[in-house]
């Protein structure tokens, strides 16, 4: 079969750790390819259009955009940097021929960099290293380049991958240079564009081969319906063509492509024809799913499906059955919840959803705490109301031995917090692998830790390091069960009565521990209102009013001074709850509660 190159196209994925400036760099590339009019207000982080992405500063969903540089179309695929979104990463890398590996000039390569780079090498992508933020006061580009070379030595699958070009950038100012000291004086990102044209291979095509492509992403439009996105591997397709569709189970059916689009700048442009090497979007095929093959109608051949790593954590989603159930959400029935969770499977390929023995409870499995937390927050913002259980690890039995998921944990902390951080990790069965003293009194510590040991640790870690530490983890495989960890949290204070929390009731509770609610918060029996200073759970009446007396003292009406309540984020609340507790999630509130609300019923269960 005759091969040729499409010199008019380059397909490149951008991969990096969270917060290393990936999305900012893409913004700069878009602006410099004259996508925007001079007077157009575009804001920043153009690609992170999802509210959650902007708030968390991370990219969750892979996005496509394209720029034209010197007559060559550069398709840019923005990938998630977080290992929890591995399902997204793996499939979008399949659309690229090269990758920009973006590394922070201070932090150097991080665990997520390692994860995505290993995937890129498996697929055979050609890398360009981009060392960003070289203007930072603690920037150490030479050391970071050495660290990156070490990482390449460890991960590369072919010797050619070790010989990589390096570009130094200040993404937020739109500057790039071949040497770090030249970056501040640079005037544009031209050296980066030139490196892409020179080093990223043009797509190899076989013009005579029948049409074939793999669906790697989905979109939805209220007028067009479901839109499939992918790269054409072979052949040519036209708007209006009849094509064959292979489902992931191998079933084949025929459909007509209604509209064909290519990516241009930030939007989609309608086209009549596209051929091998192009990244396209199209509509006309109902219920299309990621991983399906679209092929020539007369000569159909299926492509191998995308392999996705297995989930490591699971929790249950259930109908909210608390006394406040159905009061704060638009969708609260089991039918609505089930429908929405199963719809998520169309695009969230690393997720699993199963029915359970109870029609009101669904088992949801994901790639990590963040993966599941993002799903919970997304549903909450859409108006859903439900309750979730504590995340649990998914164990396996191999040759009669119980195996559990294990992670590579990397921490960067100030030296003064060393003892405080290592001690709780010991209780969580972590084993130290590396100890690196860094410059400026910082330490880089590396551990192997069971995934269940990490549940709840991020919250503790941020408290112990006063918010100054960085934490990242990466799934490395299954190992024999590490043994019992014991209790990692104290008991809780549980509301014994319904009503609105009073200053008087909360001040009494604060004598015994730390409270989670403000005065005026409506509570119900069984709702968790604080952390007990002891290991056992304790009922408290936070709605208690102060008894009135006939004699009013001069100080009786002065407001009780309360310690400010500890208000938890969604991730902190998921980390906090134990197996006999649930997190009630509504568009307006997050409430911690006991599974069994009545105190007397909980006591009876303990006796059994």
Q: Is 179 found in the same domain as 41? A: yes
Res. 493 pLDDT band, cuts 50 70 90 = very high
Tell me the pLDDT of the chain averaged across its residues: 83
Residue 298 has pLDDT above 50, yes or no: yes
Weakest-pLDDT range from 190-204, 245-259, 503-517: 245-259
Q: Is 164 found in the same domain as 17? A: yes
> Average pLDDT, stretch 52-77?
64
Of the three residues 204, 234, 255, the one that is the final residue of a domain is 204
In a domain, 24, yes or no: yes
Res. 111 pLDDT band, cuts 50 70 90 = low
Q: Is 221 found in the same domain as 200? A: no
CB of 126 closer than 8 Å to CB of 97:
yes
Closest listed residue to residue 448, CA positions, set 468, 469, 433: 433
Res. 63 pLDDT band, cuts 50 70 90 = low
In a domain, 377, yes or no: no
In a domain, 476, yes or no: yes
> Across-strand partners of 217?
229
In sequence order, which residues have a C-beta less than 8 Å from that of residue 246 and are 6 or more positions away? 252, 292, 293, 294, 295, 300, 302, 303
120 vs 200: CA distance, rounded Å: 13
pLDDT digits (tens, 9 = 90+) for 33-45: 764 334 343 443 4
> Average pLDDT, stretch 218-240?
82
Closest listed residue to residue 170, CA positions, set 152, 192, 150, 151: 192
Res. 590 pLDDT band, cuts 50 70 90 = very high
Q: Three-state DSSP class for 65?
A: strand
Neighbours of 424 (CB within 10 A): 16
Q: Is 558 found in the same domain as 527? A: yes
pLDDT for the residue numbered 308: 65
Q: Is 496 found in the same domain as 434? A: no
pLDDT digits (tens, 9 = 90+) for 444-487: 889 999 998 888 787 778 778 877 777 777 788 899 999 888 76
Res. 355 pLDDT band, cuts 50 70 90 = very high
> Average pLDDT, stretch 252-270?
82
Q: Is 160 found in the same domain as 66? A: yes
Residue 67: HSE in the Cβ half-sphere, 13 Å Cα cutoff: 23
Residue 57 has pLDDT above 70, yes or no: no
Closest listed residue to residue 245, CA positions, set 257, 253, 233: 253
Of the three residues 296, 324, 355, the one that is the final residue of a domain is 296
Indicate which CATH number applies to the domain containing 285.
Answer: 2.40.30.10
In a domain, 354, yes or no: no
Percent over 90 (pLDDT), the chain = 29
Residue 85 has pLDDT above 70, yes or no: no
Residue 515 has pLDDT above 90, yes or no: yes
20 vs 470: CA distance, rounded Å: 13
547 vs 504: CA distance, rounded Å: 10
Q: Is 223 found in the same domain as 211? A: yes
Helix and strand numbers (H, E) in the chain are 14, 37
Q: Is 568 found in the same domain as 437? A: no
pLDDT for the residue numbered 552: 53
In a domain, 147, yes or no: yes
In a domain, 369, yes or no: no
Of the three residues 147, 171, 204, the one that is the final residue of a domain is 204
Task: Choose between 470 and 582: higher pLDDT.
Answer: 582
Q: Is 259 found in the same domain as 193? A: no
Q: The domain containing residue 407 runs over which residues?
A: 396-480
Weakest-pLDDT range from 45-49, 176-180, 223-227, 449-453: 45-49
Indicate which CATH number applies to the domain containing 49.
Answer: 3.40.50.300
CB of 64 closer than 8 Å to CB of 75:
yes
In a domain, 536, yes or no: yes
Q: Is 189 found in the same domain as 80? A: yes
Angle at 345 between CA 299 and CA 357, to 5 degrees: 125
Res. 302 pLDDT band, cuts 50 70 90 = confident
509 vs 271: CA distance, rounded Å: 66
Overall number of domains in the chain: 4
> Average pLDDT, stretch 386-412?
91
Residue 195 has pLDDT above 90, yes or no: yes
Q: Say what the pTM is.
A: 0.71
């Amino acid at each position: 079969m005759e091969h040729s190159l499409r010199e008019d196209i380059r397909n490149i994925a951008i991969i990096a750790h969270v917060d290393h400036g990936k999305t900012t760099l893409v913004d700069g590339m878009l602006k410099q390819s004259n996508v925007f009019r001079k007077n157009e207000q575009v804001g920043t982080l153009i690609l992170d259009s999802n509210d959650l992405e902007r708030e968390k500063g991370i990219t969750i969903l892979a996005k496509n955009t394209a720029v034209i540089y010197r007559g060559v179309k550069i398709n840019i695929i923005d990938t998630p940097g977080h290992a929890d979104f591995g399902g997204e990463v793996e499939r979008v890398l399949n659309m690229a021929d090269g990758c920009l590996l973006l590394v922070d000039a201070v932090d150097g390569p991080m665990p997520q960099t390692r994860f995505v780079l290993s995937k890129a090498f498996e697929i055979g992508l050609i890398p360009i290293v981009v060392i960003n933020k070289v203007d930072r006061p603690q920037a150490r580009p030479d050391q970071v380049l050495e660290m990156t070379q070490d990482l390449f030595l460890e991960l590369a699958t072919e010797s050619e991958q070790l010989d990589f070009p390096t570009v130094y950038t200040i993404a937020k100012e739109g500057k790039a240079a071949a040497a770090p000291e030249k970056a501040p004086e640079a005037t544009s990102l031209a050296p980066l564009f030139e490196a892409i044209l020179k080093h990223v291979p043009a797509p190899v095509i076989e013009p005579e081969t029948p049409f074939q492509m793999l669906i790697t992403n989905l979109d939805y439009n209220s007028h067009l319906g479901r839109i499939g996105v992918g790269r054409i591997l072979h052949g040519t397709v036209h708007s209006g063509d009849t094509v064959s569709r292979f489902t992931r189970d191998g079933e084949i059916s025929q459909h007509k492509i209604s509209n064909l689009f290519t990516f241009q700048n930030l939007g989609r442009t309608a086209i009549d024809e596209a051929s091998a090497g192009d990244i396209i979007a199209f509509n006309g095929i109902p219920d299309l799913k990621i991983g399906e093959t679209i092929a020539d109608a007369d000569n159909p051949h299926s492509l191998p499906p995308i392999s996705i790593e297995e989930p490591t954590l699971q929790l249950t989603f259930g109908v909210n059955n608390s006394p406040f159930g159905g009061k704060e959400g638009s969708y609260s029935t089991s039918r609505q919840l089930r429908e929405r969770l199963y719809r998520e499977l169309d695009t969230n390929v690393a997720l699993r959803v199963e029915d359970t023995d109870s029609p009101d409870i669904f088992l949801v499995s994901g790639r990590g705490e963040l993966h599941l937390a993002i799903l919970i927050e997304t549903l909450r913002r859409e108006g859903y109301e439900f309750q979730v259980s504590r995340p649990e690890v998914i164990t396996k039995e191999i040759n009669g031995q119980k195996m559990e998921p294990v992670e590579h944990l990397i921490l960067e902390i100030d030296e003064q917090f060393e003892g405080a951080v290592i001690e709780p990790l010991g209780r969580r069965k972590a084993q130290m692998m590396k100890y690196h003293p860094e410059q400026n009194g910082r330490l880089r510590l590396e551990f192997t830790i069971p995934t269940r040991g990490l549940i709840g640790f991020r919250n503790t870690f941020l408290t112990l390091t006063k918010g100054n530490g960085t934490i990242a983890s990466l799934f490395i495989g299954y190992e024999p069960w590490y043994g019992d960890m014991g209790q990692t949290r104290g008991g809780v204070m549980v509301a014994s009565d319904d009503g609105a929390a009073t200053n008087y009731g909360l001040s009494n509770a604060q004598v015994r521990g730390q409270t989670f609610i403000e005065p005026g918060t409506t509570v119900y029996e069984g709702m968790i209102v604080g952390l007990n200073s002891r290991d056992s759970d304790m009922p408290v009446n936070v709605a208690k009013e102060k008894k009135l007396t006939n004699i009013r003292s001069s100080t009786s009406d002065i407001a009780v001074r309360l310690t400010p309540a500890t208000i938890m984020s969604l991730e902190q609340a998921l980390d906090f709850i134990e197996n006999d507790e649930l997190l009630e999630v509504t568009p307006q509130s997050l409430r911690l509660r006991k599974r069994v609300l009545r105190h007397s019923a909980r006591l009876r269960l303990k006796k059994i």
